[in-house]
Structure 1
Amino acid sequence: MSGAPSQPPEPNDGDRHLRETLVEAELLEQGKFLQWRRDRVQLPDGREATREYVVHPGAVMVVPILPDGRLVMERQFRYPVGMTMIEFPAGKLDAGEGSLACAKRELLEETGYVGRLWARAGVMHPVIGYATEFIEIWFAQDLTLTERHLDDGEFLDVFAATQDDLEAWMQQGKLTDAKTIVGMMWLRQWRAGAWPLDWQDVPG
């Protein structure tokens, strides 16, 4: 009796028996930066089905590390869940904006910090069942505190916390933001020497 494969195949390698193909696309609603779409697709067995989903421009998240090892964090009220959340700094990509430029901009605007050393960790897809959103994960070190520039109508607190603090809050259910939990996983692996980062010196 054969068991399950020990490793997943590479993306899009031998997955034709799983793919869904577009038959007809329909735009239901265009918001300020989100779209709501309903597509008709053909399933692998030839039948058709409907897929409703949100089109998102993508975003970045920054794991900012202070000289003493603590992490720059935010507390922000998130209306859809009706809760104030503990998060790493993050924000959506503007049209035509590169992910590093976005990471630098969001860190400065939300926290007032400017990073000199930057490293891209990877990408995550937080809501694959109903949105196209992806979040690129960046790390920043050699931070200098300047003046933050919040967007109009944006309210958040900035504070510093240790890795132990954040892990305790995760275990206690006080930190439930998925992107921040992924950032913590990457931080733990990097500090353990398991997942190296390629640091860039990016002044300004």
Structure 2
Amino acid sequence: MSRNFDFREKVIDSQNKFSGNIFEVRVDQVELPDGNKSFREIVKHHGGASIVALTDDQSIFLVEQYRISVGQTVLEIPAGKIEEGEEHLFCAQRELKEEIGATATNWELLTDFYPTPGYCSEVIHIFLARDLVLGQPELDQGEFLRVKKIKLEQALKMVYQNKIKDSKSIIGLLLTAQRLQEELNG
């Protein structure tokens, strides 16, 4: 196949199938690069922001909460969905305050990524938050979680031991470790 091959698909028809509070689902009929036709099931999602909240002593905060979609309690970095029209940094700041009761004066965008680009438009923005001021969490109604403060080194071990399975958390923790190593090396 040629290097210049155009992989793009042309949407011929689009049918909305579901519209909820968090996402919408549509089915697109597409024309493939070879002229054949196919269907694509697409989840439209406004995206999310997540935060590695790093203290001066190299500790981070994880939230433990039950996730009915996987049927178990999951350890994650603080995160939340971006409201329609909301800036991703504002979302991260809001979620940090809600989930662990903290504010931060030093924010750095570590990365943006697509968790499941095969069928979902969601983009997750991962921030590193430093210079924290701790307070009391302000959980949303219906939100139940436990906040855990642990050393970054221990969180990384949990990633390597498959105890942290959430993709945004794995990416955020690994990128934070890399950033700290870069700062140490100058």
Same fold (TM over 0.5): yes
What secondary structure sits across from 1:66 in the alignment?
coil
CA distance in 1, matches of 2:173, 2:137: 24
Is the counterpart of residue 111 in structure 1 residue 100 in structure 2? yes
Shift of 1:15: 6.0
Shift of 1:164: 2.0
Is the counterpart of residue 168 in structure 1 residue 175 in structure 2? no
* Preserved CA contact (<8 Å) 2:156 2:174: no
The structure with the greater share of residues assigned to strand is 2
Output the amino acid matched with 2:35. Answer: G
Equivalent residue for 2:89?
Answer: 100
Output the amino acid matched with 2:122. Answer: E
CA distance in 1, matches of 2:173, 2:4: 31
Identity of aligned residues (%): 35
Output the amino acid matched with 1:67. Answer: D
TM-score w.r.t. length of structure 2: 0.93
Question: How large is the Cα RMSD of the aligned pairs?
Answer: 1.6
What secondary structure sits across from 1:193 in the alignment?
helix
Shift of 1:166: 1.4
Equivalent residue for 2:37?
Answer: 48
Shift of 1:148: 1.4
Which digits, 9 at most, give the CA deviation of each residue in 1:153-172, with x for residues without a partner?
A: 00001111112211221222
CA distance in 2, matches of 1:32, 1:137: 22
Q: What are the ranges of 5 or more consecutive residues in structure 1 without an aligned counterpart?
A: 1-13, 195-204
Shift of 1:17: 2.2
What secondary structure sits across from 1:45 in the alignment?
coil
Pick closer, same or farther for the CA change 1:42–1:117 going to 2, 3 Å. same
Equivalent residue for 2:19?
Answer: 30
CA distance in 2, matches of 1:102, 1:157: 20
Which digits, 9 at most, give the CA deviation of each residue in 1:32-84, with x for residues without a partner?
A: 12101100011110101000021101110111001211001111111100111
Q: What are the ranges of 5 or more consecutive residues in structure 2 without an aligned counterpart?
A: none
What secondary structure sits across from 1:106 in the alignment?
helix
Output the amino acid matched with 1:76. Answer: Q
Aligned pair partner of 2:143 in 154, 174, 178? 154
TM-score w.r.t. length of structure 1: 0.85
Equivalent residue for 2:73?
Answer: 84
Equivalent residue for 1:39?
Answer: 28
